[in-house]
Amino acid sequence: MSKDKINRELILYSFRRCPFAIRARLSIYYSKIRCQIREISLKKKPPEFISLSPKATVPVLLKEDHSVIDESIDIVKWILSQSDPNELLIPLHDKNEDVDYFISLFDNKFKFHLDRYKYSSRYDSAEKNKHRDAASEILELFDDKITDTGFVYGNKISVYEVCILPLVRQFMIADPEWFEGYFRFEKVKKSLKSFIDSDAFKVTMKKYDEWINDKSKIEYFP
């Protein structure tokens, strides 16, 4: 590979509020690896971003060798395979755990109902509560997995919380009053609250100016 093809730094294309980008930033935070961050507009995606990954969804990680990872779960696994001081990936090595299946349940089925609940006016307003209840059924499975320690695996945060809680947060935000008053899965509620109160989350939600092109200011995360 020619020298000019090598980036000196990892570059993450991100969007602050996207739950998948939050997941990727959290894993970078926990890896203790620093990367360049480019906060982009989803309404006006930079051409460079689209050419790196034509499906054009955030997050996208551009590696030092110029290869691209454009699925959040793959960014989580890759960055933590480089450095995982908090051992977040441990459940992946436990043959009694099906981490990929459980997270994909949230990425697909849960996200499907979440979108139709949170953005019901774009879909079918009459079906809003039906989708809320279908998403709640999946959250019940998450609640069942949370142990007395308050965590899914062992007594600390793992890849489960990093990947799933950003999506649960979206569910809460769809109707905070309903969530506070009527959502009945207390372990999920508690887990979400301590996640939102954590330093990791605060750092992960830091605001950056929009990146437009190579002339924009270089920003770093964390």
Ligand X SMILES: N[C@@H](CCC(=O)N[C@@H](CS)C(=O)NCC(=O)O)C(=O)O
Using CB under 6 A as the criterion, which residues of the chain lie in contact with ligand X when the complex forms?
A: 15, 18, 20, 42, 57-59, 71-73
Indicate the residue among 120 and 170 with the shorter CB distance to ligand X: 170
Considering only CA atoms, which of 85, 89, 33 is closest in space to residue 61? 33
Q: What are the distances in angstroms from CA 200 to CA 24, 61, 85, 142, 144?
A: 12, 20, 14, 21, 25
Please give the Cα distance from 99 to 10 (Å, whole number): 26
Please give the Cα distance from 145 to 148 (Å, whole number): 10
Indicate the residue among 60 and 187 with the shorter CB distance to ligand X: 60
Smallest separation (angstroms) from ligand X to the CB of 1: 26
Indicate the residue among 71 and 87 with the shorter CB distance to ligand X: 71
Smallest separation (angstroms) from ligand X to the CB of 114: 11
Residues 6+ apart with CB under 8 A from 53: 60, 68, 70
Using CB atoms, what's the residue nearest to ligand X? 18
Three-class secondary structure of residue 35 per DSSP? strand
Smallest separation (angstroms) from ligand X to the CB of 110: 12
Smallest separation (angstroms) from ligand X to the CB of 3: 30
Smallest separation (angstroms) from ligand X to the CB of 169: 12
Smallest separation (angstroms) from ligand X to the CB of 172: 16
**φ/ψ of residue 63, rounded to 5:** -85, 170
Structural tokens at position 165: 């809680």
Indicate the residue among 15 and 151 with the shorter CB distance to ligand X: 15
Smallest separation (angstroms) from ligand X to the CB of 107: 6
Please give the Cα distance from 217 to 209 (Å, whole number): 9
Three-class secondary structure of residue 16 per DSSP? coil
Three-class secondary structure of residue 204 per DSSP? helix
Q: Are 207 and 23 contacting, i.e. CB atoms less than 8 angstroms apart? A: no
